[in-house]
Amino acid sequence: MFWRYPGKLDFFRMDDRLLLIQIGIIVGILSGMASVGLTWALGSILDFLRPLRHLWWAFLLPAAGAMCSSLFLEKIMNEGAGHGVPEVIYSVSRYGGLMRLRSCFTRLISSCLTIGSGGSAGPEAPVVMSGAAIGSNIGKFFNLNDRQRITLVGCGSAGAISAIFNAPLTGMIFALEVILGEWSMVNIIPIAVASVAGAETCRFFEGNRIVFESSPFNISSYDLLACLGLALMAAIASVLLTRMLRGMHHISGKVELPFWIRAALGGAAVGFLGFAVPDALGEGYHAIHAMIHGLYAAGMGLAAMACLAKIVATSLTLGWGGSGGIFAPCLVIGSFAGLAYQRMLVFAFPSVAWSGEGFFALLGMAGMMSGLLQAPLTGLFLILEITGSYDVMVPLIIVSAISTTITYYFEPVSFYLKELVDRGALLRPGTDQRVLSDISIREVIEKDCITVHPDMPLRDFIDAVKKSTRNYFPVEDAQTGKFLGMIYFDKIRPYIFNTFLYDTVFVEQIMDADPEVVYYDDDLSDVLHKMDLKKCFSLPVISNERFVGMVSKATLLDKYRDELKVQTAQIV
Amino acid sequence: METTLFHVFRNTPRGREILMQSLFFCKITGASILIYIPEHTKFLMYFENDVVQVDLDKSYLTDPDTAKKHAEELAEQAGIYPRFLHPKNFTASTLPDIPVNFDFMCCPRSITSLSSKISLGHIGPKVRRIINAAKFPVLIPAPQFKEWQNLTVFFGGSANSVKALKLGLHLSRVTGKPLDIFTQTGRKTKKYFEDILTDNKLDTEVEENVRQWYFFKKGDFKHNLYNVPHDALAVLGAYGHGLVKDVMFGNTMEIIQKTLPNTLLVAGPHYVIPPG
């Protein structure tokens, strides 16, 4: 079955990019199909439920959707809820991009139920997870190594974003900037090809459309100056959404109800909110269309209220157990923020010829995306591609850069990475934690130690010291072999030079009976932390109450350098 | 070499009996034991090229307050110092990642929610996937606790059965227990198998250390299995066929475990023989 191991073929051994490009095309096409499928399914559910939306009990629709979604994920598929991008980043950072097969479709179905019923969430993150899982599982099928599999995960993510927004450049940048967190030559080409494959798949089924096509804007220097204020507003909205999402998650976690009832409560609250602000429901793209074309009639107050309502609705949907992503809500919130800001400018400076509301709406989207994801390039290129407004490049750069900077001040880590960073699970390539995580204690253990027994007189111990090349000696029970303690040569110098003590002092009296120990399954980062705390250079390794060897900083550093060379060579 | 066995503990009478089997294995082979008392009904194991989600039935969460105490008491009786695994990494909040850097893992016949099939001698799909993906062999305990006194290796000439033989010889050396080999030759001659041993430089070791080599040219495989001593640890290699092949052509591992009441030690296709 040589075809299951294409990486071993001589042709691909020299440079595996050709292999990754070929497989990347397949991954891109499949991700594109997942995206097309999700778009079609969402449209069908929305059409099916549309006649019910005006009924008094319509607020129950998002509740039922969120409940079914959480039950599907937890009871049928046995998978934790959430929007999934952190899970993709986690698998890339810690497990070479390994993902479960079920992840190829679970989030697609669950997000369909949540969003189709009116929950405030986006379909992009679920389709990213699906694309990434497709890439990962194809990598598994072809028995590719970790680095190649990670590239395919990037290909799947790129293909998914590229297909759902018909934005190949954004897909590629999103995969490199957000998912992989590294820009290396070996990754860029396969990911770019997969991104194009995803976009072409979408165009084949849905036609080549620009998602939020806009007319050209007349941009004056006043508009450019106004960008500074809009960037601040987008940053505030980003911080608010991030904190409210996390806050809702904590609150729902404290409610002692079954998870599906919690999801239903969140959905029902969104349904109620939808009565007052209908634009807060669903993905909300129709509102963006209206704003970009200058057809959204609401004034400053209503636009600001819609912006807040969308933030609350998204937090309720995702924080209480619904399934979906934050891409679409981000765009909607950003565009509402932009619209409210434009209305405020017109109110405050009526004599200035401000650019249209569409201009500020799309700047708001870019600012919001850049701030929340801490990914200015993704935000920038996404808006350029989905609106086709390349004439707003300069203001977009200003808003994206400033919004990212301001948000960073309040939330130094992006929404996707926050949870991973908090629990120390984010290991980006080439970092200290990542290098240490790839080394095990078994690889650095030193076994050339001479063991001594507690009833050994100091004279015999001196003989053992003479034979040893080490300055530490584990003490073991002579009968059982049980580890009893350590003797560090540095600490017993006073006894060594006093010959009167040679026959009166025993090992048991001079040993450290409670030394810090480590075990085979300990992380080396923890081991180093213990060494730093105890200010020692080596620690004994214990297994089944027996001494098995020592782990030292010197050996660890040697291995660390070897591992770093391997990892950085892969990046180059 | 120091080895570690990983055990997922269930605080029920049957779970405690399974732990006793793990502890006996550790005692005989000198391995240490790492016990995991689950707090969630699922966990993930990230292997080199696969990720396996293990779904436990709810009995694994029985009486968590006494679980550690019961496990410690059993370990103390066996003279083993137990260590408990507290997962550090989580893929999702209720989905811990269990490390896979140990040397053996104990899996009951099934650790999926199909607990009703345990007593029917069914190897659950998750146990199969762990066997297929793991670098370590999997200990599948007998339905009832029984101290094994010797080892029987199933040797069919394949690369995996050679690995199983090496594992059996290693355990025989470590434990001092006698080793037998079981071979159903089919159309092949004994020389064919001896040549495989010679190619793998095992001929001398087998000659010196194997107590008996059961050769069956004729007869039903299931029937011949009754010659395996009842108190033997059965060591076998698993081919790692896909589900379709298993369903179509049957699976030797499944036949052995259904017929034999013995404790099994199964080395999968990715099992790596430790150096030395």
**Secondary structure of A495-554 as H, E, C letters:** HHCCHHHCCCCEHHHHCECCCCCEECCCCHHHHHHHHHHHCCCEEEEEECCEEEEEEEHH
For residues B181 and B225, membership in a common domain is answered with yes
Identify whether B104 is part of a domain: yes
Give the Cβ contact number of residue A293 at 10 Å. Answer: 16
Q: Measured between alpha carbons, how far is A108 from A35 in angstroms, rounded to an integer?
A: 9
Last residue of a domain, one of B100, B118, B140: B140
Contacts with B243 from chain A: Cβ below 8 Å: none
Contacts with B42 from chain A: Cβ below 8 Å: 78
Q: Measured between alpha carbons, how far is A266 from A283 in angstroms, rounded to an integer?
A: 16
Q: Measured between alpha carbons, how far is B250 from B235 in angstroms, rounded to an integer?
A: 19
Joined tokens for residue B133: 């993906």
Q: Measured between alpha carbons, how far is A207 from A201 in angstroms, rounded to an integer?
A: 9
Joined tokens for residue A219: 């941009």
For residues B20 and B131, membership in a common domain is answered with yes
Is A87 an 8 Å CB contact of chain B? yes
Size of chain B, expressed as the number of residues it contains: 276
Q: How far is A509 from chain B (nearest CA, A)?
A: 25
Joined tokens for residue A200: 């072409």
For residues B133 and B215, membership in a common domain is answered with no
A415-422 and A85-94 helices cross at what angle (nearest 10)?
50
Q: How far is CA A341 from CA A347, A349, B25, in A?
A: 10, 12, 71
Q: Measured between alpha carbons, how far is A329 from A314 in angstroms, rounded to an integer?
A: 7
Q: How far is CA A139 from CA A150, A192, A238, in A?
A: 8, 17, 35
Question: Counting Cβ atoms within 10 Å, is residue B189 exposed (0-12), middle (13-18) or buried (19+)?
Answer: exposed
Last residue of a domain, one of B85, B107, B140: B140
Q: How far is A425 from chain B (nearest CA, A)?
A: 7
Q: Measured between alpha carbons, how far is A118 from A100 in angstroms, rounded to an integer?
A: 28
Q: How far is B115 from chain A (nearest CA, A)?
A: 17
User: A80, B83: Cβ pair inside 8 Å?
Assistant: no
**Domain range for B255:** 150-267
For residues B40 and B72, membership in a common domain is answered with yes
| Secondary structure class of A233 (helix, strand, coil) | helix
| Secondary structure class of B114 (helix, strand, coil) | coil
Joined tokens for residue A481: 């072999």
Q: How far is CA A255 from CA A242, A248, A250, A251, A258, in A?
A: 21, 11, 9, 7, 9
CATH number for the domain whose boundaries are A2-206: 1.10.3080.10
Joined tokens for residue B108: 């009951």
Q: Quick one: pLDDT band at residue B27, thresholds 50, 70, 90? A: very high
User: A140, B83: Cβ pair inside 8 Å?
Assistant: no
CA neighbor of A107 nearest in space, from A98, A97, A99: A99
For residues B182 and B77, membership in a common domain is answered with no
Q: How far is B181 from chain A (nearest CA, A)?
A: 30
Residues A297 and A324 sit within 8 Å (Cβ to Cβ): no
Q: Measured between alpha carbons, how far is A117 from A105 in angstroms, rounded to an integer?
A: 19
Contacts with B32 from chain A: Cβ below 8 Å: 543-544
pLDDT at residue B241 greater than cutoff 60: no
Residues of A (537-556) whose Cβ lies below 8 Å from B? 543-546, 548
CATH of the domain at B119: 3.40.50
Q: Measured between alpha carbons, how far is B62 from B58 in angstroms, rounded to an integer?
A: 7
For residues B257 and B155, membership in a common domain is answered with yes
| Bridge-based pairing state of the strands A538-543 and A546-552 | antiparallel
Q: Measured between alpha carbons, how far is B133 from B49 in angstroms, rounded to an integer?
A: 7
User: B102, A521: Cβ pair inside 8 Å?
Assistant: yes
**Top-confidence range, A401-415, B52-66, B214-228:** A401-415
CA neighbor of B85 nearest in space, from B70, B73, B100: B100
Identify whether B180 is part of a domain: yes
Residues A444 and A423 sit within 8 Å (Cβ to Cβ): no
User: B53, A78: Cβ pair inside 8 Å?
Assistant: yes
DSSP state of A55: S
Q: Quick one: pLDDT band at residue B72, thresholds 50, 70, 90? A: very high
Is A95 an 8 Å CB contact of chain B? yes
Contacts with A523 from chain B: Cβ below 8 Å: 88
Residues A516 and A534 sit within 8 Å (Cβ to Cβ): yes
Identify whether B272 is part of a domain: no
DSSP state of B219: S
pLDDT of residue A285: 83
Mutate to test the interface with A, among B29, B45, B89 (most CBs of A within 10 A): B89
User: B92, A87: Cβ pair inside 8 Å?
Assistant: yes
Min mean pLDDT across A242-246, A405-409, B172-176, B249-253 is at B249-253
Q: How far is B246 from chain A (nearest CA, A)?
A: 17
Of the candidate CATH numbers 2.40.128.260, 1.20.1250.20, 1.10.3080.10, 3.40.1160.10, the domain formed by A227-421 belongs to: 1.10.3080.10
Contacts with A545 from chain B: Cβ below 8 Å: 81
ipTM, two decimals, is 0.84
Identify whether B275 is part of a domain: no
User: B101, A520: Cβ pair inside 8 Å?
Assistant: yes
Q: How far is A417 from chain B (nearest CA, A)?
A: 13
DSSP state of A374: T
Q: Give chain B's domain count.
A: 2
User: B101, A440: Cβ pair inside 8 Å?
Assistant: yes
A146-165 and A376-387 helices cross at what angle (nearest 10)?
40
Domain with CATH 3.10.580.10 in chain A: 434-568
Size of chain A, expressed as the number of residues it contains: 572
Residues B105 and B31 sit within 8 Å (Cβ to Cβ): no
pLDDT of residue A219: 82
For residues B103 and B163, membership in a common domain is answered with no
DSSP state of A391: G
User: A521, B34: Cβ pair inside 8 Å?
Assistant: yes
| Bridge-based pairing state of the strands B95-98 and B89-92 | antiparallel
User: B81, A545: Cβ pair inside 8 Å?
Assistant: yes
User: B42, A425: Cβ pair inside 8 Å?
Assistant: no
For residues B157 and B257, membership in a common domain is answered with yes
Q: Measured between alpha carbons, how far is B243 from B152 in angstroms, rounded to an integer?
A: 27
pLDDT of residue B116: 47
pLDDT of residue B249: 45
Residues A531 and A537 sit within 8 Å (Cβ to Cβ): yes
Give the Cβ contact number of residue A512 at 10 Å. Answer: 15
For residues B48 and B79, membership in a common domain is answered with yes
Contacts with A82 from chain B: Cβ below 8 Å: 92
Is A99 an 8 Å CB contact of chain B? yes
User: DSSP assignment of A257-295, as one string?
Assistant: S-HHHHHHHHHHHHHHHHHH-GGGSSS-HHHHHHHHTT-
Identify whether B9 is part of a domain: yes
pLDDT at residue B187 greater than cutoff 80: no
Joined tokens for residue B155: 């040797």
Identify whether B194 is part of a domain: yes
Q: How far is B91 from chain A (nearest CA, A)?
A: 6
Q: Measured between alpha carbons, how far is A147 from B87 in angstroms, rounded to an integer?
A: 25
Q: How far is A100 from chain B (nearest CA, A)?
A: 6
Residue contacts between A and B (CB atoms, under 8 Å): 65
Identify whether B273 is part of a domain: no
For residues B98 and B163, membership in a common domain is answered with no
Contacts with B241 from chain A: Cβ below 8 Å: none
Is A100 an 8 Å CB contact of chain B? yes
User: A543, B53: Cβ pair inside 8 Å?
Assistant: no
Per-residue pLDDT of chain A (572 residues; tens, 9 = 90+): 666 677 776 666 666 788 899 999 999 999 999 999 999 999 899 888 888 877 888 888 888 888 998 889 888 888 765 558 888 999 998 888 999 998 899 989 988 998 888 888 888 889 999 999 999 999 999 888 888 899 999 999 999 999 998 999 999 999 999 999 888 888 899 999 999 999 999 999 988 777 777 777 888 888 899 999 999 999 999 999 999 998 998 898 888 888 888 888 988 988 888 888 888 887 788 888 888 888 887 788 898 999 999 999 999 988 888 888 888 899 999 999 999 999 999 999 888 888 888 889 989 999 999 999 888 899 889 888 888 888 888 999 999 999 999 999 998 888 888 888 888 788 877 778 888 888 888 888 888 888 888 888 888 888 888 888 888 889 998 888 888 988 888 777 777 777 777 778 888 888 888 888 998 878 888 899 998 888 888 899 988 788 888 998 888 888 888 888 877 765 54
With the CA atoms of A412, A248, A85 and A231 taken in that order, what torsion angle do they form, in degrees rounded to the nearest 10? -40
pLDDT at residue B3 greater than cutoff 90: no
Q: How far is B92 from chain A (nearest CA, A)?
A: 6
Q: Which residues contact A569 (CB under 8 A, 6 or more apart)?
A: none
DSSP state of A452: B
Contacts with B88 from chain A: Cβ below 8 Å: 523
Joined tokens for residue B83: 């260590």
Is A140 an 8 Å CB contact of chain B? yes
Q: How far is B87 from chain A (nearest CA, A)?
A: 11
Joined tokens for residue B125: 């799909």
Q: How far is B17 from chain A (nearest CA, A)?
A: 21
3-state secondary structure B183-217: EECCCCCHHHHHHHHHHCCCHHHHHHHEEEEEEEC
For residues B234 and B154, membership in a common domain is answered with yes
Q: Compute CA A536 distance to the chain's CA centroid, rounded to the nearest angstrom.
A: 36
Residue A435 or B82, more confident: B82
Which residue in B has a C-alpha nearest to residue A92's C-alpha? Answer: B91
Give the Cβ contact number of residue B35 at 10 Å. Answer: 23
Identify whether B145 is part of a domain: no
Residues A228 and A395 sit within 8 Å (Cβ to Cβ): no
* B51, B101, B102: residue with CB nearest A95: B51
- b/e for B105-121, b at 16 or more Cβ within 10 A? bbbbbbbbbbbeebeeb
Q: Which residues contact A74 (CB under 8 A, 6 or more apart)?
A: A80, A81, A259, A260
CATH of the domain at B163: 3.40.50.620
User: A87, B91: Cβ pair inside 8 Å?
Assistant: yes
pLDDT at residue B185 greater than cutoff 80: no
Joined tokens for residue B186: 């089919």
Last residue of a domain, one of B140, B161, B192: B140
With the CA atoms of A466, A471, A472 and A476 taken in that order, what torsion angle do they form, in degrees rounded to the nearest 10? 0
Interface of B with A (CB under 8 A): 2, 4, 26, 30-34, 42, 44, 46, 49-51, 53, 55, 80-81, 83, 85, 88-95, 97, 99, 101-102
Q: Quick one: pLDDT band at residue B118, thresholds 50, 70, 90? A: very low
With the CA atoms of B237, B238, B239 and B240 taken in that order, what torsion angle do they form, in degrees rounded to the nearest 10? -150
For residues B12 and B52, membership in a common domain is answered with yes
* B2, B51, B99: residue with CB nearest A543: B2
Q: Quick one: pLDDT band at residue B25, thresholds 50, 70, 90? A: very high
| Bridge-based pairing state of the strands B264-267 and B138-140 | antiparallel
pTM of the predicted structure, to 2 decimals: 0.86
Domain A434-568 has CATH 3.10.580.10: yes
